[in-house]
Amino acid sequence: MTDEAERELSNTLCVLQMQKFYIETVGCQMNVLDSELVHSGLVQSGLVPTTDRYNADVILFNTCSVRQHAEDKIYSALGRLKHWTMLKPYGVLGVIGCMAQKDQKTIFQRAPHVDLVLGPGQLELLPETVHQLLDEKLQRNYAGQQESGKKLLVSLKRQEHRHTEVAESFRLFDPVRNPEARLNRFQAMVRIMFGCDKFCTYCIVPSVRGPEQSRPPQEILEEIRALVGQGVVEITLIGQTVNSYRYSTGGKTTRLADLLYQASDIDGLRRLCFVTNYPRGMDNDLLQAVRDLPKVAKHLHIPAQSGSDTVLQRMKRNYTATDYRELVDRIYSTIPNVSITCDLIVGFCGETDEEFQQTVELVQYCRFKNSFIFKYSERPGTKSVKLYPDDVPESVKKIRNNVLLEIQDKIALEQNKRFIGTTVEILVEGITKQFNKQFETGNVQLSGRTSCDRIVVFDMPDNRSIGQFLKLNIYDAAPFTLFARLPEYSK
Ligand code: 5AD
Ligand code: SF4
C-alpha cells in the first residue's frame, strides 16, 4: 500500500471511530434488556448511539420468534433496508436475538444484504464482530471489491448436542451497564436466569434461548447495588420462568424468595419486581416473601395459557385448571391487595368451543388485573407442529381473542373502580402522550405505577416528580388507567 493510500485509509478509520449505531427492539423484556446491554457494549467499543435509523452506520434488529407475525415484520423491515445498504457500503446490517438463533443461515438467504446474524447466547461477541465487519467492509470497498464477508454466530442446537455443551454455547452476558442505555435512570432490569427447560409444546423459547441457567446470587446482588448506586430505585428481576431460579454452591441453595430477602436489604432500592412466573413452583415461601417484604411489588404475572385441562395437556403445561385456580386462591388469601396478570393463548390446536369456554370461565374466576391474549401461531421446530394440526381457523381465533378481551376489559374496569376514593403510592414514570394538554391547561400529564402495577395518570405543573414516589388520590378509573390528583388538590 502506498503512503497516500495508507493515509486515506487511516483517515477513513478515524471517521469510523465516530460511527453510529441504531438498535430496533421487538419482543419481551429479555430482549429489551439484551438491547440495553448491547448498547452499552457498543458505546464502550467507541460507537455512538443514534435514534435515526437511516443516519446509522450499524443497524441491528433485536428480534422475537414467539409468533409468526413478529418475524414477518422483521423480514419486511429488512427488505426495506436494501437501499440503505447500497447508500452505505461501509454500513453493517445485523439480526440478533431469537430469530437469529432460529433461522440462522436462512436470514442471509431471505435478506442477502444482511451482514451479521448473532444469537442471544453470543451477545458478548457482538461489539468485536461489528468492528471486524466494519473494518472488513472498509478494506474491501477500498480494494474495489463488492462482496463482503458475512458473520454467523449462534449457539448449538438443543436437539443435536449434549445438555452441558448446549448450555456452554449459550454464554451469559451481563456486563457493567451504561445508564444512558436505559429508557430512564430510575428503573432497571436485572437478569437472574437465562433460558427455559419447560418445553411447552407451542413455544420456541427453549430452542432459541437455550437451557435454564441461573446466575450466582452474589453477582446479581452486586449488579443491583451498582444500579442503585447509579440512582435506580426500581429493579425488575427477569427470567423466562423467574420462579425456577435456583443456584446451589457449597451445599447451599438460593431460590427466588431468598434473593428477594437479600435484595430488599439494599439501601436506596425502593421497589423490587419479578417476571415471568411459571404456575408450578409458586411456593408459599415465595408468596410470603412478596407479602412480608414492603419493597416487593404486590403484582404477580403468571401465564395460565388456557383454562381447559385437555388443552393444557396438549400444551404440556404440567398443571390443571383446578391447580391454577387453587394457586390464585392461595395468592389472594396470602397477599393483601395483590394483582395478578396472565398470558392466554386462544385457538391452540384442536381447541373446541367447550375448551375455549373453560378459558372464559377461568378468566372470570381469577379476576386478573389484565391478560395478554395471543392467537396461537404455529412455530416450526416446536412439538405441537409434529403432534397436532393448527386446525382452528384464523377467523375463529380472532373471534375468541375478541370475546376474551371484552370479558377481561370488563373485569379490569370493575377492579379499577374499587380504587376510586382511595390514596395510592406511585413511582412517577414519565409524561403521557397527551402533549397538547399542556397548551390547554398549563399542566403536563404524568403517569406512574402502583406497587400492584396499575397505571395512574395525573396532572402536574411540571415534570420534576419523574423518578419519585408520590401519594395520589384516585377520582376515576378506566380498564387500564386510574385517574388521580395530588391530595392537596382533592378537597
Ligand atoms: N403462539 C401464540 N402465543 C405464544 N406464546 C408463546 N408461544 C406462542 C405461540 N406459538 C405466548 C405465551 C407466552 C407469551 C410470552 O407468548 O402466552 O406466555
Ligand atoms: Fe415458553 Fe413454556 Fe418456557 Fe414460557 S415456560 S418460555 S411458554 S416453554
pLDDT digits (tens, 9 = 90+) for 398-457: 999 999 999 999 999 999 999 999 999 999 999 998 755 656 677 899 999 999 999 999
Q: 379 CB under 6 A from ligand 1?
A: yes
Domains of the chain (ranges plus CATH)?
Answer: 3-162 (3.40.50.12160), 184-297 (3.30.750.210), 305-415 (3.30.750.200), 423-489 (2.40.50)
Per-residue confidence (pLDDT) for residue 175, from 0 to 100: 79
Q: Please tell me the distance between residue 379's alpha carbon and the centre of ligand 1 in angstroms.
A: 10
**Is 208's C-beta closer than 6 angstroms to any atom of ligand 1?**
no
Task: Tell whether ligand 1 has an atom less than 6 A from the beta carbon of residue 458.
Answer: no
Bond before 276 cis per omega within 30 degrees: yes
Question: What confidence score (pLDDT) does residue 127 get?
Answer: 95
Centroid of ligand 1 to alpha carbon of 422 (angstroms): 36
> Looking at residue 80, what is its pLDDT?
94
pTM: 0.92
Atom of ligand 1 nearest to the CA of 276: 18
Q: Is 343 in the pocket of ligand 1 (CB under 6 A)?
A: yes
Distance 198 CA to ligand 1 centre (A): 13
Ligand 2 centre from 97 Cα, in Å?
16
> What is the C-alpha radius of gyration for the chain, rounded to an integer number of angstroms?
24
Test site for ligand 2: of 64, 200, 344, most ligand atoms within 8 A of the Cβ:
200
Nearest by Cα to 289 from 330, 333, 249, 256:
256
Dump pLDDT digits (tens) for 200-235.
999 999 999 999 999 999 999 999 999 999 999 999
pLDDT score recorded for residue 435: 57
Task: Indicate whether residue 85 lines ligand 2 (CB < 6 A).
Answer: no
Residue 14 confidence (pLDDT): 47
CA of 69 to the centre of ligand 1 (A): 12
Grid coordinates standing for 118?
448473532
Residues (pLDDT < 70) of the chain are 1-17, 141-148, 435-440, 489-491
Q: Which ligand has an atom closest to residue 206 CA?
A: 2
